[in-house]
Amino acid sequence: MRILFLIPYPPGQAPSQRFRFEQYLGLLRQHGHEYLLAPFLSEATWRILYEPGQAVCKALGILGGFGRRVGHVLAASKYDYVFVHREAAPMGPPVFEWLLAKVLRKRLIYDFDDAIWLANTSEANKIAAELKWHHKVDSICRWAYKNSCGNDYLAAYARQFNPQAVVNPTTIDTEHLHNQVRDQLAPGPLVIGWTGTHSTLKYLRPLVPVLAQLEAEGLDFEFHVISNQPPDFEVALRSLRFVPWQKATEIPDLLTFHIGLMPLEDDPWAKGKCGFKALQYMALGIPALVSPVGMNTEVVQDSVNGYICRESAEWLRHLRHLLTDAGLRQQLGSAARATIEQRYSVHSNTPNFLELFT
């Protein structure tokens, strides 16, 4: 069996690609399947995409992506399946998907892990967002052989257009990547942490007063933010340490955390989130504190492997408790790791993933 993966970004870079299908590529080979990863963006364009300026280079990079996509579609006849992650092209109507599904009659696996039918505009993407064609998602869902959805909320949307919608959760490789567990009893500075891209930094703002209160109470901790851009909070935090995200140090940086945060706003976009931050923390034996939005309440069992926090007072109480009780952190962290191994690991989800190609 031969599979063509039409992906937005260069391999090994974007979390959605790395943790939804790239970590299964070796298993595909083990089962005798061949594949080709075909990114829309080149490495050079990806490096500058979210940097200020260089508009001409970005525009040329996007145009080059469209040219490459034409070549990918022309070569698709050699493949048994075409796996489209999020979209074949970041702008305009779903022409490539239509050609693949309706003209070439390819079996299209359509994979998405966000509510991408909704506009989610930020300062970094506001110009490009105007050129997006958000309502194309329903058409691609309708044309797909199968829809691979990150959670039940996304699958329910896809089933409005096509009954062939499978929940394929974002998963963690607990054997080769997240294969260490945080020792909560080891000496060293206590760390509350968060990881994510610049587009989700906004969700941290409501927690800044909570962290400032913990500082005012004299609790000794550091607040680590791992991202591709530093946060710009209105209130200065003495505890704040910005850690630039690097793939080479991703796991060691996360292992500095004793507690992981995943706040979200309760809106339609956030309901499509697949709990990725919580999954990463929990796989490393780090208890997660999360908002009761989207998949978070499925991944985190309150007071068993982490805490679900509905208001500032709950964030404050649970953070205070965890900062002062290493045994509790260890207990929740062990349960969190077990949850990932049993339900959200590559190993546990492999049969489900391979079933997409049948």
Averaged pLDDT for residues 28-52: 95
Query: In the numeric block, which tokens belong to residue 160?
Result: 């409005």
> What 8-state DSSP symbol labels residue 192?
E
Cα–Cα distance between 55 and 47 in angstroms, integer?
Answer: 13
Q: Is the pLDDT of residue 354 over 80?
A: yes
**What pLDDT shows up at residue 119?**
86
73-82, 126-135, 239-248: the lowest-pLDDT one: 126-135
Superfamily of 2-168 according to CATH: Glycogen Phosphorylase B; (3.40.50.2000)
The Cα–Cα gap between 221 and 154 comes to 37
* Domain extents in the chain: 2-168, 191-343
| Average pLDDT for 115-143 | 80
Query: Region 324-353: what's the mean pLDDT?
Result: 98
Report the predicted TM-score, pTM, of the whole model to 2 decimal places: 0.92
34 pLDDT higher than 80: yes
Using a 10 angstrom Cβ sphere, with 0-12 exposed, 13-18 middle and 19 or more buried, the burial of residue 224 is: buried
CB 318 within 8 Å of CB 289:
yes
CATH of 191-343, one of 3.40.50.720, 1.20.1080.10, 3.40.50.300, 3.40.50.2000: 3.40.50.2000
pLDDT value, residue 126: 56
Q: What is the mean pLDDT of residues 60-82?
A: 98
Predicted local confidence at residue 129, as pLDDT: 61
Pick 132 or 16 by higher pLDDT.
Answer: 16
Query: Is 128 or 150 the better-scoring residue by pLDDT?
Result: 150
Q: At residue 128, does pLDDT exceed 80?
A: no
Do the domains at 2-168 and 191-343 have one common CATH topology?
Answer: yes
| 4-24 average pLDDT score | 96
Of the pLDDT bands very low, low, confident and very high (cuts 50, 70, 90), residue 75 is very high
